[in-house]
Amino acid sequence: MSPATVFQIHLVLGYIPWLLCFSAYVWPRLKSMDSVEAQRAIATLHSFRFFGLVFIVPGVVGPNLPAGFATFAAYGDFAVGLLAMLALLTVRMRPLFWLFVVAFNLVGTADILIDYYHGNQLDLPALAGELGATYWIPIIYVPVLTITHFVAFYLLVRPQPEAVRSLTGDTAAS
């Protein structure tokens, strides 16, 4: 099997264990939480996306990893990580918190979709070895990030029962 085929299999199969884990353990907990706490949990995971800067560290990735992919992926992740941290820091200022929650999810989703597009355009599967030590990021980390962005959007548009809003103080803070 070619390295490109192995990489493509890894990309697809990376979603299956996360979906199984998420549906069994994470989703039941998230959907039982109030909106703010659920979004804080998701923002906490995404706050580690500063780690994407590793794509531009020489020696961690191969010298032939296309700069068009590496630079955009690195700075896109960095921006999302900062926005997620800002969401966490502003949780007591609800209008700002919700602004940053929406921002990190929009920017994060766009970043992942654009990275997939760039990777396809640059034939990243054929260059998978150039990912070096970062090979695990698109295989293990990106699937859970993608899943949590979709969940975050669902939770943002899901109607909240009045009892939950009044208990959490969202009616006054919104």
Kindly state whether residue 21 falls inside one of the protein's structural domains: no
Kindly state whether residue 28 falls inside one of the protein's structural domains: no
Structure-model confidence comparison of residues 174 and 57, the more confident one: 57
**Could you tell me the pTM of the whole model?**
0.88
Using an 8 Å Cβ cutoff, are 167 and 45 in contact? no
Kindly state whether residue 19 falls inside one of the protein's structural domains: no
Structure-model confidence comparison of residues 156 and 68, the more confident one: 156
Residues of the domain holding 124: 3-14+36-57+64-173
Kindly state whether residue 149 falls inside one of the protein's structural domains: yes
- pLDDT tens for 80-136 read 999 999 999 999 999 999 999 999 999 999 999 999 999 999 999 999 999 999 999
**Residue 163's pLDDT band (cuts 50, 70, 90):** very low
Kindly state whether residue 29 falls inside one of the protein's structural domains: no
Reply yes or no on whether the pLDDT at 162 is more than 90: no
Amino acid letter, 55: F
Reply yes or no on whether the pLDDT at 166 is more than 80: no
14-17 long-range contacts, CB within 8 A, separation 24+: 14/138, 14/139, 14/140, 14/142, 14/143, 15/143, 15/146, 15/147
How many domains would you assign to the chain? 1
Kindly state whether residue 151 falls inside one of the protein's structural domains: yes
Kindly state whether residue 82 falls inside one of the protein's structural domains: yes
Q: CA 35 to CA 13: how far, in whole Å? A: 30
Q: CA 170 to CA 174: how far, in whole Å? A: 5
Q: What is the pLDDT of residue 161?
A: 62
